[in-house]
């Protein structure tokens, strides 16, 4: 009887730990970003965008007529205007398929550390890529772990969001606000999606981010 009670107590001590892991994972899936617009909302505007004479053109009138949110349409218009300025300044080039070529890649602070990690860690590692909808980058396993730790540091108040944004998304204005608002969530999402080969992260101009495993 005494052995049974000891074993029963051991199970009770272990049970909360066993239950916590799946509960935590599901909470990550259920937790939502508070951005008014989703990634799908932004992607729905793709058919109204084209490239003419090397610059982005946006049929905002048709987008509004088809029922797309007017504020979102205005944000898309402003973002493409900013991209066109970068194109005219010789930093970016827009292709007919809406892809963007980096003519003058922005060098991140501490980029020397990235090159070392890229050579010794599993997974793909890239600089920032610009898109008509926002920016993205691939992080290998080491970078993803470091990024997750940096986000946790921001969430705890030990590091400023602007400092971290300059390291991971240099020159991307919206990144600082996203990091400041969602540091803890970004840290958790990256950790949950890194299966040992890194992650892919995209950030839209409306401040919505997406993380996928490589």
Average pLDDT of span 129-138: 95
Average pLDDT of span 175-179: 87
The torsion angles phi and psi of 137, rounded to 5 degrees, stand at: -160, 155
pLDDT at 11 over 70: no
Of the pLDDT bands very low, low, confident and very high (cuts 50, 70, 90), residue 184 is: very high
The whole-number pLDDT of residue 26 equals 35
Q: For the segment 14-54, what is each residue's pLDDT rounded down to a tens digit?
A: 333 333 333 333 333 434 665 678 889 999 999 999 999 99
Average pLDDT of span 55-66: 98
Average pLDDT of span 122-134: 93
The torsion angles phi and psi of 124, rounded to 5 degrees, stand at: -85, 140
pLDDT at 58 over 90: yes
The torsion angles phi and psi of 177, rounded to 5 degrees, stand at: -70, -40
> Which carries the bigger pLDDT value, residue 169 or residue 46?
46
CA nearest neighbour of 50 among 37, 66, 63: 63
Q: For the segment 185-213, what is each residue's pLDDT rounded down to a tens digit?
A: 999 999 999 999 999 999 999 989 999 99
Query: Could you give the 3-state DSSP secondary structure of residue 206?
Result: coil
Asked if 46 contacts 132 with a C-beta cutoff of 8 angstroms, the reply is yes
Of the pLDDT bands very low, low, confident and very high (cuts 50, 70, 90), residue 181 is: confident
Q: For the segment 75-126, what is each residue's pLDDT rounded down to a tens digit?
A: 999 999 999 999 999 999 999 999 999 997 665 555 445 555 556 799 999 9
Whole-prediction pTM:
0.76
Across 61-198, the runs of DSSP E, i.e. the strands, are 92-94, 100-102, 129-131, 134-139
Locate the domains of the chain by residue range: 39-100, 106-213
Of the pLDDT bands very low, low, confident and very high (cuts 50, 70, 90), residue 149 is: very high
The whole-number pLDDT of residue 117 equals 54
């Amino acid at each position: 009887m005494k052995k049974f009670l000891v074993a029963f107590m051991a199970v009770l001590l272990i049970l909360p730990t066993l239950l916590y892991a799946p509960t935590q994972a599901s909470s990550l899936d259920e937790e939502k970003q508070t951005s008014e617009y989703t990634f799908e909302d932004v992607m729905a505007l793709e058919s109204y965008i084209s490239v003419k004479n090397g610059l982005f053109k946006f049929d905002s009138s048709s987008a509004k007529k088809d029922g797309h949110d007017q504020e979102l349409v205005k944000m898309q218009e402003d973002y493409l205007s900013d991209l066109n300025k970068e194109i005219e300044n010789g930093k970016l080039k827009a292709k007919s398929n809406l892809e963007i070529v980096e003519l003058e890649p922005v060098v991140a602070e501490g980029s020397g550390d990235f090159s070392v990690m890229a050579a010794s860690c599993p997974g793909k590692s890239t600089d920032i890529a610009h898109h008509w909808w926002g920016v993205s980058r691939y992080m290998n396993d080491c970078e993803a772990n470091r990024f997750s730790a940096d986000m946790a540091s921001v969430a705890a108040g030990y590091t400023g969001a602007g400092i971290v944004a300059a390291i991971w998304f240099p020159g991307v204005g919206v990144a600082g606000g996203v990091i400041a608002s969602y540091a803890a969530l970004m840290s958790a999402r990256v950790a949950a999606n890194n299966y040992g080969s890194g992650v892919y992260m995209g950030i839209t101009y409306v401040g919505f981010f997406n993380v996928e495993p490589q």
